[in-house]
Amino acid sequence: RLLHQRIVVLGTAVDDAVANRLCAQLLLLSAEDPRADVALYVNSPGGSVSAGLAIYDTMRLIPNDVSTVAMGFAASMGQFLLCAGTPGKRYALPHARIMMHQPSAGIGGTAVDIAIQAENLVYTKGLMHR
């Protein structure tokens, strides 16, 4: 029923399955009407960076404005997606909490592996700061 109102909800941690579902919903709503706004409600502690970037890329791909609304707790990747909404159409409910932090990752392996992972983390941080 929410899709009929052009509402998509991110109400859990971001993982590949959640990202695939949200991307499909955004693409469906865009195909139905490429001019009408889509609302993304965010209540998420964050999660996978690669899955979140798939959602972000889809939000940028579709021609629709995507309004974002924080409800509950929007942290980490949840916060990133909240801020990816169309400028002027980003909102937070009165008791919503939003948490932003620097990227972090568990790194291990050989010295070469660690160097590669650290370089990838710096690259990802650069993507998210653009």
pLDDT digits (tens, 9 = 90+) for 105-123: 667 788 887 887 778 777 7
Q: Mind listing the pLDDT tens digit for each residue in 74-86? A: 999 999 999 999 9
How many Cα atoms sit within 13 Å of 88 on the Cβ side? 2
> Is the domain of 107 the same as that of 89?
no
- The domain total for the chain is 2
> Which residues are part of the catalytic machinery?
76, 101
- Which structural domain, as residue segments, surrounds residue 35? 2-99
> Is the domain of 125 the same as that of 61?
no
Q: How far is CA 63 from CA 32, 73, 114, in A?
A: 12, 28, 39
Q: Mind listing the pLDDT tens digit for each residue in 29-69? A: 999 999 999 999 999 999 998 999 999 999 999 999 999 99
> Is the domain of 95 the same as that of 107?
no
Residue among 10, 33, 36 at smallest CA distance from 23: 10
> Is the domain of 29 the same as that of 88?
yes
> Is the domain of 51 the same as that of 115?
no
Report the alpha-carbon distance of residue 89 to residue 75 in Å, rounded: 19
> Is the domain of 47 the same as that of 62?
yes
Report the alpha-carbon distance of residue 34 to residue 125 in Å, rounded: 31
Site of tokens 């959640």: 18
CATH of the domain at 42: 3.90.226.10
